[in-house]
Structure 1
Amino acid sequence: MKNALINVEVHAGIATVFLNRPEKRNAMSDDMRTEFIRVLEDIAADNTIRALVLTGNGKGFCAGGDVAGMQRRMDAPAGEVAMNGWSRQQRVHHAVALLHTMPKPTIAAVNGAASGLGADTAMSCDFIVASDAATFTWSYINRGLIPDGGGMYFLPRRIGLPKAKELIFSGRTVKAEEALALGIADRTTSPDALLSDAQQWARELSAGSGTALALGKTILNQTFELTATEAFAQGSQAQGICYTSTEHRESVKAFLAKMADKKTASSTEHKQQS
């Protein structure tokens, strides 16, 4: 779609989603968020798409929330500020939740600055590949705010509570090398190779059963909140579904056929030697 705020390319089952406001370093406006939500819903429902790679057009990944939205919030009548803010938060959380619960692998290919909501959005993905030019900052504190795009949930789970507090309290910038060392990024690569490396990893991660991936991801996302008993119970239910899946049945048939062929070949070789 020409002039779309979110661009999507699909190749060999991998959807690459581009945040497309390069002149604003892909800052997330309300209109952009609406498009983003629609795209994520479409990808989640499309069984031909096996994985998602998220990146930004231009030099930045995502500069956070749009400044124009902040200005509208400041200009709103006092009696409407809280409700307007609450409504916008619901949309933010809906977008983040769609990315986090996407029933297929997701990779953020961070090509430049990921600031505030941009850093939170990257963290909402299963994995992060950072360009050598990438930076991360939870700079909310500089605006008198707290991370509202999932940062307070995702960041401690990636790097531990004390270090997450340090980054959120200070709002300092983390470069790619430190991001890898801390565990914010899972891999780093050159700017030229970023997208191809992320897409190749997406292909590798999504090569297995889509059913098992979706069910396993759903449980893994809750692991820190569940008791062992609850995790085992959910796992039992999910495995029951996997037993009935086409992928499982076909893979078992193929495995048994392969074993039978090996047994026949071994028996033939034994007879020839005798």
Structure 2
Amino acid sequence: MNTPSLIELEIDAGIATLRLNRPEKRNAMSDEMRSQFIDALERVSADKAIRALVLTGNGKGFCAGGDVAGMERRMSAPAGEIGFNGWHRQQRVHYTQSLLHTMPKPTIAAVNGAASGLGADTALACDFIIASEAANFTWSYIHRGIVPDGGGMYFLPRRVGLPRAKELIFSGRKVEAEEALRLGIVDRMAPADSLVAEARAWAAEMSKGSATALALGKTILNQSFELPSEQVFAQGSQAQGICYTSTEHREAVMAFLDKSAAGGAR
């Protein structure tokens, strides 16, 4: 009997739709699920035919965070191994979130239900978030005696400001979809029955430009809060030099010149 895949990946018209597929556990992230998630993200990132990614969850939840059974196993390890085991796991978590955050193409989280703990951080690791009315967000780490380890302490202040991020992380309270939209956690809302379709349409819109310019621009924008203006300008100059040599730039300029020439001939 074949074990169902914990990650479903569908590619259509250059848009990849990745579905977390552990609905009976509200898509809580187990170690095996993370391994499959990494494989899928590496594939999407490397495939030049894929222009954008939509991430969502099967069933009623987006992602309930880390798998509690995995937490129990970590605590039952010999005392002398808990620290190193935890460090090793964190390397995998951070690699996964980095793959999503630095993917050289637009990424959209289509949040269909609860996004808790690591699930909320995973949505934030995407460039954009679209949510249904059934969505909610909880940075619930505090209820387990831990801190956000999926990037929430980096991503959340950049969306809502530092005091609000502290309030949400320190309280671990639930944020319903409408409040999430007001706070800037969510960028758009859509009906549940058309959520993924609208996310895919948005992904197509965001990725129809030059793939080279998108990848380079995203890389610089992701660092722009941390870098001084001189470095942003310097990286932009280097990126522009690469863009000047790209097929997309040449074709766009030639098409513009041809159109102008044709207009002048009349």
Match of 2:79 in 1: 78
Give distance in 1, aligned partners of 2:66 and 2:96. Answer: 13
Local SS of the residue matching 1:102: coil
Tell me the CA shift for residue 222 of structure 1. 0.1
Please give the per-residue CA displacement for 1:177-197, whole angstroms capped at 9, x wherever unaligned: 000000000001110110111
Match of 1:270 in 2: none
Instruction: Determine if the alignment matches structure 1 residue 129 to structure 2 residue 118.
Output: no
Local SS of the residue matching 2:94: helix
Match of 2:120 in 1: 119
Alignment of 1:62-77 (within 5 A): 62-77=63-78
Alignment of 1:1-274 (within 5 A): 3-265=4-266
Local SS of the residue matching 2:257: helix
Please give the per-residue CA displacement for 1:73-113, whole angstroms capped at 9, x wherever unaligned: 11001000000000000000000000000000000000000
**TM-score where L is the length of structure 2:** 0.99
Please give the per-residue CA displacement for 1:170-220, whole angstroms capped at 9, x wherever unaligned: 000000000000000000111011011100000000000000000000000
Local SS of the residue matching 2:254: helix
Q: What amino acid maps onto 1:245 in structure 2?
A: S
Where structure 1 has 5 or more consecutive residues not aligned to the other structure, the ranges are 266-274
Kindly name which structure, 1 or 2, has the bigger radius of gyration based on alpha carbons.
1
Give distance in 2, aligned partners of 1:190 and 1:42. Answer: 30
Local SS of the residue matching 1:184: coil
Give distance in 1, aligned partners of 2:98 and 2:67. Answer: 20
Where structure 2 has 5 or more consecutive residues not aligned to the other structure, the ranges are none
Give distance in 2, aligned partners of 1:157 and 1:168. Answer: 14
Which aligned segments of 4 or more residues in structure 1 are displaced greater than 4 angstroms?
none
Match of 1:269 in 2: none
Q: What amino acid maps onto 2:117 in structure 1?
A: G
Q: What amino acid maps onto 2:124 in structure 1?
A: M
Give distance in 2, aligned partners of 1:257 and 1:243. Answer: 18
Give distance in 2, aligned partners of 1:47 and 1:193. Answer: 27
Tell me the CA shift for residue 2 of structure 1. 6.5
Give distance in 1, aligned partners of 2:88 and 2:179. Answer: 35
Give distance in 1, aligned partners of 2:128 and 2:3. Answer: 29
CA-atom RMSD, angstroms? 0.8
Match of 1:271 in 2: none
Aligned residues: 265
Give distance in 2, aligned partners of 1:143 and 1:9. Answer: 34
Local SS of the residue matching 1:193: helix
**TM-score where L is the length of structure 1:** 0.96
Give distance in 2, aligned partners of 1:25 and 1:203. Answer: 28
Local SS of the residue matching 2:126: coil
Local SS of the residue matching 1:167: helix
Give distance in 2, aligned partners of 1:193 and 1:4. Answer: 24
Local SS of the residue matching 2:115: strand
